[in-house]
Amino acid sequence: MEKILQQINRGTQNSYVHPVSTSGSKFSDLLKQTQAAENTISAGSMDAVFEEAARVYNVPVNLLKAIGKAESNFDPSAQSAAGAQGVMQLMPQTAASLGVADPFDAQSNIMGGAKYISGLLDQYDGDVDLALAAYNAGSGNVAKYGGIPPFSETQNYVRKVKEYMGSSIQIDESTQNVSGLMQQTGAALQCPICGGSQKKAAVSDMTVWLAELLKLQVQSRMLSVDDYTGTVL
């Protein structure tokens, strides 16, 4: 991914690309929407989301952050091989049951994860170990084994989250709501794989999409666009 982005960056610095109005959108308007969307969620605002989720669902904020760090390292676009999605790595069925319409939207995902762990804490009378084990392996396995299941992944997960809870958890300043950016940019471009009903398909095309976004960002620094004619001044 990094090599691809570097190549595109070099290419856009050495070549001129004339802005084209796409589906009736002025190029400068598209850039404004892209830049606005890019700032949808910064590290500071993600902190605020965790704080709000902790308040709403009465869960220690450090527990929520520890789960977010252990699950995805606060990556809103993360998707596991098993299909878990977003910051708190919610499975699609679980996300739907929690009212999370877009698992790749950081705010919705964090709120959903907070609701989920809050319910598990209630279920296990505040036992953090059992709640975390159920979050990772499912309540069925906790019931089956009468405690933390004998799965190395689950045992390591519980230990890791508790270690994070006891430390100062920092969210990377570069964290952004990638899905929100994809959705807004895709809508402006009317791109069939980036927005609308096929938004989920865009996750697998993230490399191509990021490459196109970088082009737009470079052009926004290099070009001044006339809103009325679309010509370069």
The residues annotated with a catalytic role in the active site are 71
Within 91-205, residue ranges assigned H as helices are 92-97, 106-123, 128-137, 139-145, 152-165, 178-189
Q: Which residues contact 220 (CB under 8 A, 6 or more apart)?
A: 31, 34, 35
Integer Cα distance of 126 and 123 in angstroms: 8
Q: Which residues contact 3 (CB under 8 A, 6 or more apart)?
A: none
How many Å is the maximal CA-CA distance in the chain? 71
Integer Cα distance of 187 and 197 in angstroms: 11
Short-list 65, 66, 111, CA closest to 90: 111
Six token digits for residue 225: 């666009």
User: Is residue 187 within 8 Å of residue 22, measured between CB atoms?
Assistant: no
Residues linked to residue 232 through DSSP beta bridges, in sequence order: 225
